[in-house]
A and B are shown apart, each in its own frame.
Chain A
């Protein structure tokens, strides 16, 4: 967003951004990096711009409903949540705090440097969130949700999810 937010918009942004992700409740929407802006369009009318992680991510509907509820509870009379695609969301949009929380939760955070096919991700190993070993192997590119891959730690033998780079 090029335009700057008014103090009221920043306050509403903070509220909307504090909503937990429905599938990864350790993260807030702000830490996940999916909130693209909040605009006050008129008296008691607010538009929130939200971007999906994956085009088919079913969580986007729950996110929209949660944002609406939080802002309505705050006293906003009319909330509309619109989905924006560009610029496309990337795992690089996850904040440092978000990455830390993911690892703490047992999910290896995505590596910096963007999506599949990039030169960086394939050369850096993924660290086991349980024992910290970097000796881990890929079991499947797809895991419990579209945004994760399934890996196993060779050192402690525990399987774990890895938030894969996008």
Chain B
């Protein structure tokens, strides 16, 4: 239950954040791409939350402190480079995690085997953008670096143990760092040097403690359902 909630909330919250780009993306193709990625994540969230209970109840009627997503996914979109930094950090993690879950025999193996193929496209999308922006103009390079730096302190939480997910977290963390480093360096950018975890880093989302922007995001995500319970079209 803990694991389904944690992984399901990660997918749900990031899906909503990516959906916020609708009508705001720099070009039409990116608007469509981000909406497609959000849709994949929403599908994963629905299946994961259904392991726990009623998906609508869980998505729309829980209070902030009942959510178990990592703080990385709830961070506001910022500029496009900032969103791509978040996408790189998260999609590399999710791809490696799902690969491992798909190879196992746990309760998420079937879902992971399906979702890993979708997430491979998300990861590729993020990597290609980090390369283009990092190795682009002086302006895009600077903004991409700012995005990577700003979100770095949220990445340690990705590798904290989650009850019910029986994998080697420290090996996962090593593989994640190697993959992210490879992309960042090819993009002529610098891997941030600050702490990923510890007193100066962030990360208590799995315990239900969230950053300030998350409450506002939930208010927007939930208000329609709360105002019109059971509404549908």
Contact = CB atoms under 8 A, between A and B. Distances in A.
A58 B43 CA distance: 9
A140 B111 contact: no
B36 to A, nearest CB: 4
Contact of A86 (B46, B113, B115): B113
A142 B43 contact: no
A56 B19 CA distance: 14
> Quick one: which of A56, A141, A150 has the most chain B CB within 10 A?
A56
A116 B114 contact: no
B124 interface: yes
Contact of A55 (B32, B114, B120): B114
Contacts of A57: 43
Nearest to A165: B117
A88 B32 contact: no
Nearest to B40: A56
Contacts of A143: 32, 36
Interface residues of A, number: 26
Name the prevailing secondary structure of the A interface residues: loop
A55 B44 contact: yes
B32 A142 contact: yes
A141 B125 contact: yes
Contact of A141 (B35, B41, B117, B121): B121
Contacts of B36: 142-143, 145-146
Interface string B208-233: 00000000000000000000000000
A120 to B, nearest CB: 15
A86 B116 CA distance: 13
A58 B46 CA distance: 12
A129 interface: no
Interface string A139-163: 1111111100010000000000000
B111 A166 contact: no
A111 to B, nearest CB: 14
Nearest to B123: A116
Interface in B19-36: 29-30, 32-33, 35-36
A145 B125 CA distance: 16
A112 to B, nearest CB: 15
Interface in A35-77: 52, 54-58
A140 B33 contact: yes
Nearest to A84: B110
A55 B40 contact: yes
A131 interface: no
Contact of A54 (B32, B43, B111): B43
Contact of B124 (A87, A116, A139): A116
A57 B46 CA distance: 11
13 contacts: A55-B40, A55-B47, A56-B40, A56-B41, A56-B42, A57-B43, A85-B113, A88-B114, A142-B29, A142-B125, A145-B36, A146-B39, A164-B121
Given A55-B47, A90-B117, 7 more contacts: A55-B114, A56-B40, A56-B41, A56-B44, A117-B120, A140-B30, A141-B33
Interface of A: 52, 54-58, 85-90, 115-117, 139-146, 150, 164, 166
Interface of B: 29-30, 32-33, 35-37, 39-44, 46-47, 109-111, 113-115, 117-118, 120-121, 124-125
